[in-house]
């Protein structure tokens, strides 16, 4: 499996996804400016919980960078408020370029 991962996706993905252990955490799964309501400078609601679930600890940080509105203020706030996972983000971006979308079902061909 590791040889296949390295061949298809490179060293960064291999390091991040095959050679490290992560805590599994409950997370929103799609945190972005489009899902955060702010009033008077304070977060008053987080919307759209359909992607919520139990993910590797880095998922909230990396997924917030996927297909989100490019607002520098949001990403600055994100870096200040939640743990950063920059290595994992780099690896996820490799996967996003190679695969369609990070939350789509993966179809696997059965080999015998």
Domains of the chain: 22-98 (3.90.1200.10)
52: nearest Cα among 26, 33, 32, 34: 26
pLDDT given for residue 105 in this prediction: 43
pLDDT given for residue 19 in this prediction: 82
The tokens 């960078």 sit on which residue?
A: 65
Kindly provide the b/e burial profile for residues 71-89, where b requires at least 16 CB atoms within 10 angstroms of the residue's own CB.
Answer: eeebeeebeeeeeebeebb
- Within the chain, which residues score under 70 in pLDDT? 1, 67-69, 100-112
């Amino acid at each position: 499996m590791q040889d296949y991962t390295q061949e298809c996706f490179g060293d960064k993905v291999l390091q991040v996804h095959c050679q490290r252990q992560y805590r599994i955490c409950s997370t929103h799964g799609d945190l972005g400016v489009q899902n955060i309501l702010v009033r008077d400078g304070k977060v008053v609601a987080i919307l759209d919980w359909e992607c919520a679930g139990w993910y590797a600890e880095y998922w909230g940080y990396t997924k917030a960078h996927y297909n989100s509105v490019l607002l520098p203020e949001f990403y600055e706030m994100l870096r200040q408020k939640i743990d950063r996972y920059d290595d994992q983000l780099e690896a996820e971006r490799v996967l996003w370029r190679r695969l369609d979308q990070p939350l789509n079902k993966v179809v696997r061909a059965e080999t015998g």
